[in-house]
Structure 1
Amino acid sequence: MATLAAAAPAEEPPKKNRIQVSNTKKPLFFYVNLAKRYIQQHNEVELSALGMAIATVVTIAEILKNNGLATEKRVLTSTVGMKDENKGRLVQKAKIEIVLGKSEKFDHLMTPPTTTESAAAAAADDKK
């Protein structure tokens, strides 16, 4: 497999709330849980991916949105030139950046229920 290096060495400094997703390095829910932590700490998270990892980023964003934890703030797509070190030429790669913000329900959904709340929920479920 070809190793790719950025053609433009002058890149912006890494953001504290940016997750660069690879579809080969970590499992999907590693990124989902990391994104939750970043949202908790920074009130938003930026998910970024190139090429085949784009589908993974979209899936992560949809999981967080569908669970009511995040809202979509911005989606950016672009194409970046990358140097293919094996072939020595420039190749174009698709890139996506999705910025998600903390939802109004985030803190409530992330807080584990107290023992009285879980007992009340279990009692309510028993009555159904």
Structure 2
Amino acid sequence: METIVASEVNVDPAVVVGPQKRNRIQVSTNKKPLYFYVNLAKRYMQNHNEIELSALGMAIGTVVTVAEILKNNGLATEKKILTSTVGTKNEAKGRLVRKAKIEILLSKTENFDDLMAAAKAERSSNNNASKDKASGIAGEDGREGDHSVKQSEEDRN
């Protein structure tokens, strides 16, 4: 197992590290929702054939879940999984703390672009249907819910 000692750990989520690693997403345990990382990975994969998901410690479960969602939706295939231990300096106690690290390398599937286009078309049609439904809710006189109130009064009698 490879051991990496880092003097500083980047705690900012989804940071692109250096010009050579434009396709790396670093996941943290802050309050970002799971699908923030799923959608970010999709956007990265539109520009790159491969992406690397990376996490330390408690964020490892989130990275694994993101990778599984992408794989199960047919958007990515797993190329490589690397695990290691990273030494970080604990600021409070001033000593070296070891944390587990995972890096998952994913590549786009052949039909990634087709799946993304289909999802975009579906969202577009759903948005149009929602707009049509919203515009049809108000009655001709513009008052919403008038018919349901009359119906409720009739049911009580």
- The TM-score range, normalised by the shorter chain, is 0.7 to 0.9
Query: 1:25: Cα distance to partner?
Result: 3.8
> Structure 2: how far apart are the matches of 1:63 and 1:100?
12
AA partner of residue 64 (structure 1): L
Structure 1 residue matching 2:42: 3-state secondary structure: helix
Q: Give TM-score scaled by structure 2 length.
A: 0.64
Query: 1:7: Cα distance to partner?
Result: 1.9
> Structure 2: how far apart are the matches of 1:41 and 1:106?
12
AA partner of residue 101 (structure 2): K
State which structure, 1 or 2, has the greater radius of gyration over its C-alpha atoms: 2
Q: CA offsets, 1:13-62, max 9 Å, x none?
A: 36111000012141110100000011110111100000000000000000
Would you say 1:105 and 2:111 are equivalent positions?
Answer: yes
Could you tell me which residue of structure 1 aligns to residue 102 of structure 2? Answer: 96
Could you tell me which residue of structure 1 aligns to residue 134 of structure 2? Answer: none
Aligned-pair identity in percent equals 72
Query: 1:114: Cα distance to partner?
Result: 5.6
> Structure 1: how far apart are the matches of 2:39 and 2:121?
21
Q: Higher helix share goes to which structure?
A: 2
Query: 1:104: Cα distance to partner?
Result: 1.2
> Contact 1:46 / 1:97 at 8 angstroms: preserved in 2?
yes
Q: Higher strand share goes to which structure?
A: 1
After superposition, residues 1-128 of structure 1 pair within 5 angstroms as: 6-7=6-7, 13=18, 15-112=21-118
Gaps of 5+ in 2: 1-5, 10-16, 126-157
Q: Give TM-score scaled by structure 1 length.
A: 0.78
> Structure 1: how far apart are the matches of 2:36 and 2:57?
20
> Contact 2:89 / 2:97 at 8 angstroms: preserved in 1?
yes
> Structure 2: how far apart are the matches of 1:18 and 1:25?
19
AA partner of residue 34 (structure 1): L
| Count of residues in correspondence between the two structures | 109
> Structure 2: how far apart are the matches of 1:61 and 1:107?
18
